[in-house]
Amino acid sequence: MKALITGGAGFLGQRLARKLLATGTLKNASGQDERIERLVLLDVVPAPVIDDPRVDILTGDVLDAEFLKRAIDSATGSIFHLAAVVSSQAEADFDLGMRVNLDAARLLFETCRRLGHCPRVVFTSSVAVYGGDLPEVVQDDTALNPKSSYGIQKAIGELLLSDYSRRGFIDGRCLRLPTISVRPGKPNKAASSFASGIIREPLNNEGTVCPVTADTRLWLLSPRQAVDSLVFGHELGAEAFALNRVLNLPGVSVTVGEMVEVLGRISGQAAVGKIRWEGDPVVQRIVGSWPRSWDMTRAHALGFKGDKDFDSIVQAYIADDLSGAR
């Protein structure tokens, strides 16, 4: 079978690719392990070369229907749709966000529908679909009231995935990710970019800016757990999603102040001193509209795991991305 990762050049896509290649199989519709013959990494920029004969790198526009038809065929049993325009970028460029976060998801689902073989599609959504007047712990039945274009677009993607699945066009599973921290690499245009930057940059002996107040509470997930959950969510049978195709993944609730305390404990006060506190009202407004935690009963019942605490999130970053060195 063929598997496809959109956003395959991104850090999550890359990490997922390596995990899939290492495992070598994914479950098919009958629940049997099937060998991954080809793994297609699709992105608008070329994915880094992975030295594995199973990997195909496709570079192009996820909105180009002909291109997408080359990426998805009747042998494509599994799709991980990670391609997205991040929150601050979707806020700054409304049309770009609508095209990539909404139109591309729809085109991808529609491409599957035309093929008619109902592949498994794992789609990532976000804390940003929530907003407005939220309870301290968001419940599975809490209404979505997104306060960013990114959140609106992801919420629409969830609805489309649900209906395409209900109608049997795809076997979709939408996993709502907490804010990912600690992301490796460079800052990006996500409003939550700082949630990685305030740990990553000091650990790399670089300065960074924290645009929100220390009492801002975040709901976090490590890249390592995120990738494990994407695969776990793929491997579950469709009956796990019969009542609802959308699932809130487990997270860890911490304030920015607590995150910095952990940094200080692990790396010392000099690291903490690398953070310049400089409020950005736009980022504060967007991030402040997100859940500070949500109920994990359903995710735990299905067997999903989260991180233990923020300490272990930082340790996972050090182990996975700093080669164990500090």
Cβ contact 280:211 at 8 Å: yes
Residues 237-256 that bind a copy of itself (CB under 8 A): 243-244
Asked if residue 168 binds a copy of itself (CB under 8 A), the reply is no
Distance in angstroms (rounded) separating the CA atoms of residues 315 and 224: 11
Is the Cβ of residue 243 or residue 301 nearer to a copy of itself in the bound state? 243
**Among 117, 116, 125, 115, residue whose Cα is nearest residue 161:** 125
Residue 146 as a binder of a copy of itself (CB under 8 A): the answer is: yes
We find the least distance from the C-beta atom of residue 142 to a copy of itself, in angstroms, to be 6
By C-beta, is 48 or 135 nearer to a copy of itself? 135
Nearest alpha carbon to residue 16 among 50, 53, 44: 50
Binding residue for a copy of itself, selected from 166, 265, 308, 326, defined by CB under 8 A: 166
Q: Is 152 in the site for a copy of itself (CB under 8 A)?
A: yes
Question: Which of 92, 96, 137, 159 is in the footprint of a copy of itself by CB under 8 A?
Answer: 159
Which of the residues 130, 150, 164, 317 is marked catalytic? Answer: 150
Tokens standing for residue 108: 């991808």
The residue within the footprint of a copy of itself, chosen from 25, 28, 59, 142 (CB under 8 A), is 142
Q: Which residue has the tokens 């060195």?
A: 325
Question: Which x/- pattern over 189-228 shows residues binding a copy of itself (rule: CB under 8 A)?
Answer: ----------------------------------------
Greatest CA separation for the chain: 58
132 binds a copy of itself (CB under 8 A): yes
Handedness of CA 222, 49, 154, 191 (dihedral sign): positive
State the Cα–Cα distance between residues 98 and 142, nearest whole angstrom. 24
DSSP states of 198-251: HHHHHHTT--EEE-S-TT-EEEEE-HHHHHHHHHHHHHS-GGGGSS-SEEEPP-
Q: Which residues, in sequence order, are CB contacts of 22 under 8 Å at separation 6+?
A: none
List CB contacts of 225: < 8 A, sequence separation 6 or more: 250, 305, 306, 307, 316
Nearer to a copy of itself, 141 or 215 (CB): 141
Give the nearest distance from C-beta 209 to a copy of itself in angstroms: 26
**Interface residue with a copy of itself, options 25, 28, 162, 284 (CB under 8 A):** 162
Catalytic residue at 317? no
CB of 166 to a copy of itself, least distance (A): 7
CA dihedral 105, 187, 59, 233 (to 10 degrees): -50
For residues 162 and 204, which CB has a smaller minimum distance to a copy of itself in the complex?
162
Residue 102 or 263 having the CB closest to a copy of itself:
102
Residues forming the active site: 150
Q: Which residues in this chain contact a copy of itself in the complex, by CB under 8 A?
A: 94, 132-133, 140-147, 149, 152, 155-156, 159-160, 162-163, 166-167, 243-244
